[in-house]
Amino acid sequence: MPRLVMKFGGTSVANLDRIRRVAKRVGLEVAKGYDVIVVVSAMSGKTNELVGWVRETSPFYDAREYDAVVSSGENVTAGLLALVLQENGIDARSWQGWQVPVKTSSAHGSARITDIPTANFDDRFTRGMKVAVVAGFQGISAEGRITTLGRGGSDTTAVAFAAAHKAERCDIYTDVDGVYTTDPRIVRKARKLDRIAFEEMLELASLGAKVLQTRSVELAMRYKVKLRVLSSFEEPSDTAGTLVCDEEDIMESNVVAGVAFVRDEAKMTLVSVADRPGVSAAIFGPLAEAGVNVDMIVQNIAEDGRTDMTFSLPVDQVARAEKAVQTARAAGTINFHDLIADEGVSKVSVVGIGMRSHAGVAARMFKALSDEGINIKVITTSEIKISVLIDRKYMELAVQTLHDAFGLERA
């Protein structure tokens, strides 16, 4: 029998009524002749509640116990869905991560899946099981402890199962009906994409589009898993949702596929650092050790052997970053005249594989922003993306402007 992976997010399993609706969906695929692996999230809000309880115990909680607690939400929904499926006359069984086992690294809170053996499910499917319901987001380390895969990790569980079982498709059911050109809450004319390339999706996911966990897209790209994002609240249809696929499978696309944004960014400048070999390493080494996620980096042209170094980071890491560079300064490994932090910036990016073959995308982007009087503070580019840092108060305007400038409301 062909195999299918279906993943249901928190809002799709938020209560028993919705779990019953999910069971109906799954039943439709079983009726088509698929052996189905269903991956479920915790009921919406549950994981946040569990994380909150753990944090209340101590700011220095043990990461292994965090995983023990936080993984439990998925256990409940997996068991409930199996029960409802059985009630519908479908041969179904639930699995927690350790039972499969979903083997992972020992990085508690953000573990990576290393292996998913398939023999057990193969055997069960041959003997008549129709649906395996898997608790997403969790696995087991080599030390035998429960691990979790990072927030949003059920997407990655689903794609990993699809890859391991060579599933025909991996359908990610969520509360939106697909991947949009940008967030429809900011741009009303945002359009649902029928298809998007893995690489574009990867950029959009890591640039703040929350619909899929970034790592799940990486995995899908590596193992060429056909990934579909669709709503569990719409009537079933073969063309529903957005297909995330190889770029060869996209006939024609806009130069720019979408506009992504990260609202809460910060920018730090070390004014007048020495311009000599080793200085960047002396700055960014301690920042990395302090767990600061530095994103964009800009170094000015040097004058008199001194230069300014600017970088961007998440707003909530500014204090940590300041401490790291001040400590390095006190230790004498770096020196600078001044440290300036700007906590009021946002990052706005345009993404599209069409940029590889079309010149002038950057020029068009900068012109559109300047026509609206929006000042660009930092720019970075990659082969398929251009990102700018701007004042946060212009973020919505910038996203709308770029959506218009690249004609994204039209297919």
Q: Indicate whether 153 belongs to the interface with ligand ASP (CB under 6 A).
A: yes
Partner interacting with residue 178 (select from Mg ion, ligand ASP, none; CB below 5-8 Å by kind): none
CB-nearer residue toward ligand ASP: 78 or 240: 78
For the segment 8-27, give every residue that binds Mg ion (CB under 5 A).
Answer: 9
Among 27, 97, 139, 152, binds ligand ASP (CB under 6 A): 152
d(CA 198, CA 256): 14
Q: Indicate whether 136 belongs to the interface with Mg ion (CB under 5 A).
A: no
Sign of the alpha-carbon dihedral angle for 79, 49, 313, 182:
positive
Among 152, 153, 258, 352, binds Mg ion (CB under 5 A): 152
The residue sitting closest to Mg ion, measured at its beta carbon, is 152
- Point out which span in 119-127, 150-158, 241-249, 296-304 binds ligand ASP (CB under 6 A): 150-158
- Point out which span in 152-160, 193-201, 375-383, 396-404 binds Mg ion (CB under 5 A): 152-160
- Is residue 207 a contact partner of residue 262, using CB atoms and an 8 Å limit? yes
CB-nearer residue toward ligand ASP: 155 or 203: 155
**Count of residues interacting with Mg ion (CB under 5 A):** 2
What backbone torsions phi and psi does residue 309 show, to the nearest 5 degrees? Answer: -120, 120
For the segment 231-270, give every residue that binds ligand ASP (CB under 6 A).
Answer: none
Instruction: Return the ∠ at Cα 302 (arms to 298 and 304), rounded to 5°.
Output: 155
For the segment 1-30, give every residue that binds ligand ASP (CB under 6 A).
Answer: 9-10
**Count of residues interacting with ligand ASP (CB under 6 A):** 13
CB-nearer residue toward ligand ASP: 9 or 258: 9
Partner interacting with residue 137 (select from ligand ASP, Mg ion, none; CB below 5-8 Å by kind): ligand ASP
Q: What residues are paired with 340 via a beta bridge? A: 269
In angstroms and rounded to an integer, the radius of gyration of the C-alpha atoms of the chain is: 23
d(CA 16, CA 80): 8
CB of 151 to Mg ion, least distance (A): 8
Q: Indicate whether 41 belongs to the interface with ligand ASP (CB under 6 A).
A: yes
Residue 393 burial (CB count, 10 A): 11
- Point out which span in 93-101, 149-157, 236-244, 342-350 binds ligand ASP (CB under 6 A): 149-157
Sheet-wide strand order for 227-231: 92-95, 131-135, 35-40, 3-8, 169-174, 227-231, 242-245, 195-197
d(CA 47, CA 150): 11
Q: What residues are paired with 135 via a beta bridge? A: 40
Partner interacting with residue 153 (select from Mg ion, ligand ASP, none; CB below 5-8 Å by kind): ligand ASP
- Taken as a whole, the chain contains a residue count of 411
Q: What share of the chain is helix, strand, coil (3-state, %, to 5)?
A: 40, 25, 35
Enumerate binding residues for ligand ASP (CB under 6 A). Answer: 9-10, 41-42, 47, 73, 136-137, 151-155
Enumerate binding residues for Mg ion (CB under 5 A). Answer: 9, 152
